[in-house]
Amino acid sequence: MNLTLKIWRQKGPQDKGRMVEYKVTDISEHMSFLEMMDVLNESLVAKDEEPIAFDHDCREGICGMCSLQINGEAHGPDRGITTCQLHMRMFKDGDTIFIEPFRANAFPVIKDLVVDRMAFERIQQAGGYISVNTSGNTQDANSIPISKQNADLSMDAASCIGCGACVASCKNSSAMLFVAAKVSQFALLPQGKVEAKDRVKNMVMQMDLEGFGNCTNTGACEIECPKGISIENIARLNREYLAATI
Amino acid sequence: MTTLNSRIPEGPIKDKWTLYKDKINLVNPANKRNIDIIVIGTGLAGGSAAATLAELGYSVKAFAYQDSPRRAHSIAAQGGINASKNYMGDGDSNYRLFYDTVKGGDYRSREANVYRLAEVSGNIIDQCVAQGVPFARDYGGLLDNRSFGGVLVSRTFYAKGQTGQQLLLGAYSAMNRQIARGKIEMFNRHEMLDVVKIDGKARGIIARNLITGEIERHSAHAVVVATGGYGNVYFLSTNAMGSNATAAWKIHKKGAFFANPCFTQIHPTCIPRSGDYQSKLTLMSESLRNDGRIWVPAKLEDAKAIQQKKLKPIQIAEENRDYFLERRYPAFGNLVPRDVASRAAKERCDAGFGVNATGEAVYLDFATAIKRYGTEQAKIHGINNASIEKITQLGEAVIEEKYGNLFQMYEKIIDENPYKTPMMIYPATHYTMGGVWVDYNLMTTVPGLYCIGEANFSDHGANRLGASALMQGLADGYFVLPYTIGDYLADDIRTGKIKTDLPEFDEAEKSVKSQLEFFINNKGTHTVDYYHKRLGQVMWDKVGMARNEKGLKEAITEIQEIREDFWKNVKVPGSLNEFNQELEKAGRVADFLELGELFAKDALEREESCGGHFREEHITDDGEAKRDDANFAYVAAWEYTGKPSEAILHKEELEFKDIELKTRSYK
């Protein structure tokens, strides 16, 4: 198929940035979206033009590196996948596709489609851990039974890949789903209960400091989340936060 | 000339690690904070090492090329992690895990290291549970285990199909705790481009800030390389796009020996290539072989018709199918080890029986399992005379519960429903058992330079068993290196801060900069990927699943030619002082072009078949791998002398005192 691409180009953080039009031809429906981008970049390099910078790594939907806003949707039109798992069969010959970086004040653009997600790192550093040393001198792994239901819910929350699609999809650029996933993972486990209050307060405080918006329960984050993390976790985060602050 | 000393402690194998720990030197807590350690790579091995060293009190600097340690490719491991907990009471023990690993590795690993690995495996599970890793549990609230290939017990702990992710996030959280306290200084989007040696010891690195392009000097009292394997030498592999061998190769060029590069694992169940644009290959969990039957058409004309899409697999009658694994290996059938299954698929495809347009795919068929489970379910539900449709429906539900997420992933990529038509699979490069040579302390042949995780050659011999990679990465990082590195650093308490304005730093920085400048200024005719793909093709065709003397010699010449062409005609756009992904790739491919040659040379020199290394000249009468213990029971450790072709071979003879050497048979 032949496609028209309108891609965000931005030299660096200081540059204003603009949409630039590119044509690609003979795109196979079996290509992944990023392979289509590879084809475009190879042709740009061949023409002595600068290729388009975009983040990607594992290309199997788990590292959370890829981060494209395609036709206005985080990770594009398909559901339950990351950009690297999106395939060209989702598009038709002659389509025009708009490709932009994830947009949020807390995610400044580094170059073209690459954004800086250090805000997420700082939120994790504020409390996304259990304070136990890695000496291995802990009690036996089976000494505290954990109900299967809680272990499974904890796992569902823990499957967050930290891509930022929730923020990019939210009209308020809220990071509540991201923070809720980590808070919930630990709140559901006995090991995490010891520091639960400090954790939720510190992570929420850092989230606010980073300039993410508030949650107004539109639920867009849950729909665009490649791992299908439920907004029930946001409810749990609110409960934990309330319990910690009163 | 450097000689190999593996520094294996004396004493019975069960006591070596304990006795050794009792006697090593320790560093006083007040001194630890004055000692700097650089950790390169933040996957399971590097991440766990960085966190633990920081907890102990050392000042750690950690480097990752991604924007966060959480993105390292350890995250992609699906199946699980082995530990000899014996929670199932099925007869597991440290010895059994040790035995299975040495045997699975086709008797090419070091006994003492593997025993230590088994010994600390249980601790890993305790540690991860304490960190909040949500492992799968049974209804009683205790940890669940499953079984994996090549063993007789259930010892694999798992977190859905995302065990690697959960373990990495555990190590990442431990790192975050130390980053918040300032004990780890984290350098995201930084790439190590050379190691700096002072008085023969590793004392620092040269790194490039991938955002600004700035070249930085970092000093330390010890340097730890934990940068994973070199599977991307094949261009196409299940590794991440950025996975590279640059750190490992740069330290090799500075004196660290490189061991057994030819030991590479080709995983049998990956989604096949669909075209020349393909950028990477996706693994489908080995667990699928429990219920899937592997076949190709028995008649060549049927295979041709399928390749041209004139015939569908379900139209081929049962008697015209060749279930080649069941035919060749009746005892193990579809569950033969990875190396055996991969080679058998290649053999059929080379003979023209492949089942997709490229001719490089075989079927993995669940129809029999669906029918079997469906009939069983009908009985359980008391449905008499169930229709074929009902049986299929019931059977598909069972398959969905077991493998639903994998089937969905397959459908997204291939756009075919694997419940209705057989999956197509083909082998792909997955893991590298070879790597930087290390002694019992995990130190390379350069003092103060350590190598851990997949990047070292250590524990898996010539073939790795499923669910053992995660175990080794975390064992090295959490429980081995933090002890052994103290023994070395105890001598450094009076050294003081290492200065970065020394001539050794000047020199290393100069050579790094001149290579980067060369790439930008060369303005050649071909892209970096063009060379990487050419290299990958030679590696796959001639140094892939089956190797022979003629092919390997040709490969060496061809790789040299590609390398020469690369250094004349490579084209890298953009400039030095900016975010430049093509420039990053150029340096990595330059190193792969050298590593690939050493790989082929090592494969040529090892005139036996063992594990993932299959030499067509060394087979039994019925076409199986033939090991040669009399002549090749050694680790091949290569010393760099200026060119891969002139590398010098050092042999570490392997002694098997606790395990008897046997031939593997799956007939």
Counting residues of chain B whose pLDDT is more than 90, the rounded percentage is 88
Under CATH, which number does the domain A3-111 receive?
A: 3.10.20.30
pLDDT attached to residue B79: 80
Which of B85, B126, B169 is the closest to A158 by Cβ? Answer: B169
Say yes or no to pLDDT of A4 above 90: yes
**Which three-class secondary structure state does DSSP give residue B465?**
coil
ipTM of the complex: 0.98
Average pLDDT over residues B50-74: 98
Q: How confident is the model over B614-663, as pLDDT tens digits?
A: 999 999 988 888 999 999 999 999 999 999 999 999 999 999 999 999 88
Taking residues B281-303, report their average pLDDT: 92
pLDDT given for residue B85 in this prediction: 97
DSSP H/E element including B50: helix B44-56
The secondary element (H helix, E strand) that includes residue B259 is strand B258-259
Chain B contacts of A131, Cβ < 8 Å? 177
Q: How far is CA B450 from CA B2, B444, B480, B516, in A?
A: 16, 5, 11, 26
Q: What is the reported pLDDT for B153?
A: 87
Q: Using the beta-carbon criterion (under 8 Å), do A50 and B574 form an inter-chain contact?
A: yes
B173 and A116 in contact by Cβ < 8 A?
Answer: no
Residues B506 and B633 in one domain: yes
Instruction: Answer positive or negative: Cα dihedral of B476, B478, B480, B483.
Output: positive
Question: Angle between the B44-56 and B163-180 helix axes, to the nearest 10 degrees?
Answer: 30
Contact state of B123 with A136 under an 8 Å Cβ cutoff: yes
Given this model, what pLDDT does residue B332 score?
A: 82
Closest partner residue to A136 among B127, B408, B527, by Cβ?
B127
- Residue B1 confidence (pLDDT): 53
Prediction pTM value: 0.96
Last residue of a domain, one of B427, B448, B480: B427
* Average pLDDT for B435-457: 98
Residues of chain B contacting A117 with CB distance shorter than 8 Å: 67-68
Residue B32 falls inside a structural domain:
no
pLDDT tens per residue, range A90-128: 999 999 999 999 999 999 999 999 999 999 999 999 999
The predicted pLDDT at position A92 comes to 97
Report d(CA B155, CA B145) in Å as an integer. Answer: 6
Q: Cβ–Cβ of A121/B188 closer than 8 Å?
A: yes
Closest by CA position to B178, among listed B47, B32, B75, B74: B47
Token duo for residue A68: 């494209």
Could you give the residue range(s) of every CATH 3.10.20.30 domain in chain A?
Answer: 3-111
What is the per-residue pLDDT for A137? 85
3-class DSSP state of A43? helix
B160 is a domain residue: no
Can you tell me the mean pLDDT for A197-222?
A: 97
Same domain, B278 and B420: yes
Dump pLDDT digits (tens) for B311-361: 999 999 999 999 999 999 998 888 888 888 999 999 999 999 999 998 999
Q: What share of chain A is helix, strand, coil (3-state, %, to 5)?
A: 40, 15, 50
If asked whether residues B528 and B415 sit together in one domain, one would say: no
- For residues B417 and B282, membership in a common domain is answered with yes
Q: Same domain for B511 and B411?
A: no
Residues of B in contact with A39 (CB under 8 A): 277
Q: Do the domain assignments include residue B650?
A: no
Task: Sort out which chain B residues have CB atoms less than 8 A from A45's CB and list them.
Answer: 527, 571, 573, 582
Q: Please indicate, yes or no, if residue B533 is contained in any of the structural domains.
A: yes
DSSP helix/strand/coil, B131: coil
Q: What is the pLDDT of residue A120?
A: 98
Residue B513 lies in a domain: yes
Domain CATH code at residue B587: 1.20.58.100
pLDDT of residue B285 exceeding 90, the answer is no
The yes-or-no verdict on residue B151 having pLDDT over 80 is: no
Comparing B148-157, B213-222, B289-298, B631-640, the range with the smallest average pLDDT is B148-157
Q: Residue B412 belongs to what domain range? A: 271-427
Domain count, chain B: 2
Task: Tell whether B542 and B402 lie within a shared domain.
Answer: no
Burial B421-451 (b: 16+ CB within 10 A, else e): bbbbbbbbbbbbbbbbbbbbbbbbbbbbbbb
Q: Which residues of A touch B415 (CB under 8 A)?
A: 29-30, 87, 89
| pLDDT value at residue B150 | 67
Boundary of a domain, candidates B394, B427, B460: B427
CATH number of the domain located at residue range(s) A117-135+143-245 in this protein: 1.10.1060.10
pLDDT in tens, A79-90: 999 999 999 999
pLDDT tens digits, one per residue of B521-549:
999 999 999 999 999 999 999 999 999 99
Tell me what pLDDT residue B418 has.
96
Residue B580: closest C-alpha in chain A: A53
Tell whether B468 is covered by a domain.
no
Q: What is the pLDDT of residues B83-115, one digit of tens each?
A: 999 999 999 999 999 999 999 899 999 999 999
pLDDT tier for residue A44 given thresholds of 50, 70 and 90: very high
Across chain B, mean pLDDT equals 95
Exposure of B100 by Cβ count < 10 A (0-12 exposed, 13-18 middle, 19+ buried)?
buried
Q: Where in chain A is the domain with CATH 1.10.1060.10?
A: 117-135+143-245
